Structure 1
Amino acid sequence: CPGQSSDRLAVMPQEPLVQQGGSVQLNCSLACTGGTVQWRGLDASLGSVTSFPTHSILHISSAGVASEGTKTCQGTCQGQLYQRTVNLKVYALPDTLQLVTEPRALEPGQPGSLHCSALGVYPPTGLGITWYLGDQVLEEADFDLMEAEEMLFNAVSTLSVEGEEVEGGVEFRCEVKLSIGQETFTRVASVTVSTGGDTAQPVATTELPPEPTISTHDAPPRESLTETTLEPAAATEPHSTEHPAPQDLVTGSPTAHSATATSAATAPAEAPETAAGSTVGGTALGEEGAGTPEGTVPACNLQIWSLPAEGTRGRALSIECQAQCAGNVTIRWLQTPVALSQYRQEVGGGSSTLRLDHAEPQHQGYYQCVLLGHRSPAVSLRLVVLDDSSSTVPAVAAGTALSLLGLIVSAVVSQRLRKRSRYELR
């Protein structure tokens, strides 16, 4: 260790990003036999630490804005001290937007206004709202920010439209983007004016890129968006403890929410297909959650980890995603470095485990799982697969054994020669 650079101490992921209410694991490792590694200066309320001889894992669950900040890991190797820091970032963006029109039914040829709200946003920097008329950009709108609970913000933008812009079949669309570093998150809500003069119910579209490494990409074309149209008087009645659904066009109303209990998830553009690397996309998630009244699904805590914490090439490895909640639950893997068919999957007891008899470098990367039918956020794990540094031990041991055997044989032969020489001299 002496004389080596501090690169021996590594923290993964290097740019951690977690969604509000989600979970994240920070793995600090030191390539030094007999060394020590541990996280320092942590408030016990912000996370828990699991330490091993060569690495230490910081677990942060139910992340909030207070979880943000610099995390410090220190390691020692033969008397030398190493230190690494990472900056954990937290973001929040609602699954759906609220879109309200005034008057409640836009009439062709009559002026009106639209109000688009994103409730519970963080951080406010990097937030942008854009209005569209069909595929034409109307304006990148100003918006009002108001403080909300848990250090979050509510953003509201208003678009005023002239009578000549309100035509039958015209679609008005509100697009909210939140940019954090190289990552961009997008939410879309739209409303269409019918030819009969009644404004169609809004359409809410959600894009949920995987975390913590979500690719930056623009919103896909309108024809590629996964949509859920909220018809008047949705089939599912609101829960008895909720207020009756209003008749205005609010996508976040009880009626609207019961129709989209879990918003459809769109996989990122760069994610490989299931055959090359497992990714769940499209309407599967939306179908699982559809029709579940708000307030009837119990809260669940979803966790993900690997055993061991770091994979070793050629050795067994397992990645487990487990839900802590009552009742039967279904866990789905959203992202794996290679196709799910290359793992041995075990499901049961509220957990799903991916097992490998022999880990290889291609198994290194991000793993992400989600709980279907619940509002628990997806959780992610960054897994590292290292070369087996102990593979040289058998060869060294064999060489040492042969050397010792050679010394023993030499000693025996030498002793016999000395005895023979003494006998001949006599």
Structure 2
Amino acid sequence: MEQGLTFLLPLLLGLLQQGRGGRLEVEPPEPVVAVAVGESRQLTCRRACADGRAAVVQWRGLDTSLGAVQSGAGSSVLSVHNASLSSAGIHTCVGTCGTHTLRHPVRLLVFAFPDQLTVSPEALVAGQAQELACTAHNITPASPDVLSLSLLLGDQELEGVQDLGQEEDEEPQEGEGQLFQVTKRWQLPPLGKPAPLTLHCQATMRLPGMEPRSHRKPISVRPQPPWTPSWSRTPPTTSGVLTSPKTPVTTSLEATLEQTSTHSPRSPGPEAGNSSTRPCHPEIHQSPIPGGLELLCEAACGPGVAVRWTRAPGGLAAYQRKEDGAQAWLTVLWAGCNPEGWFQCRLDPGGHTARLYLLPEVCSPPMSAALWMGSLVLGLLLLAFLTRRLWRCRQPTR
């Protein structure tokens, strides 16, 4: 009996192992595989069965139709060509030997990291404390653990700066997927004299399974202009510093000196937004028009800047808009009640925003159909009553 069991045990084990095979081999082996927008990538999966038969291997999952899958004896290759944001997702390799099936999921991460950095202001002035903003455009993913912005002096981070925070905003675009612009701001201490080495804003993206990628934007540093006594400066009315918001701000050296130097108590200084050493801020003005309201967002920052509307109650598509460089108009037309909520515009480069909250002030809801019909019937009854009385009064008495 024992000899029979000894003979049958290997046979039973062999039957149990029949159809089974080795593990799935996936290249690349990482659970997350990153590919840049427009680039191509291949995912290969293999499995061998223990009995020598060819395993059935196939890539499956969402969006596999966006790539080319070629499957053969014991292997399957998923090729993604000209990757787009819609190509991202979970792809699963399924390998079967007989009745034994193994699965290996792989997340395909499609990222966008173009060399599109802007800084505001474009030039700094040595010897002055100033604020600096750096923006990376058309980025995804944009989370802080993936994308970081830093300020470098040579190859080292600039010391003594105050981090004012990092924010992200969706880029306006057409097509599939979402791209973002990420802005970080710093408060800089007075830079040394003479001007230091070239400063750079550096954007770095770190993704699993890839070496970090970086882009740099140089920032020039000008020597501080020589101090000039206040009584020898050209009056603001002739230098063009105190101009209306619609007039381009003078950017000459004389105007820069007028804007950044200290003013006497009797002479109010120009707005901080006009200074060439500080990022300027957009402003929103409103003016009534027949049947509505017109909002104007503008930034008196000189050439090379633009403003655009980024938020409105009910979505921007519900409004008439016009954008022209440093000015952007938005027309609010209402029937009954004006919309309530936040209107927001944004300055590029720099990323500063202006917001306006509009409260409903004009409300005249239209008359309901039932009320209108009731009023009509009442008017007809009154007219019939008056007509009958008038007819009876005009009848001759007998």
TM range (shorter): 0.3 to 0.5
Normalising by the residue count of structure 2, what TM-score does the alignment of the two structures yield?
0.44
Question: Which entry has the higher C-alpha Rg, 1 or 2?
Answer: 2
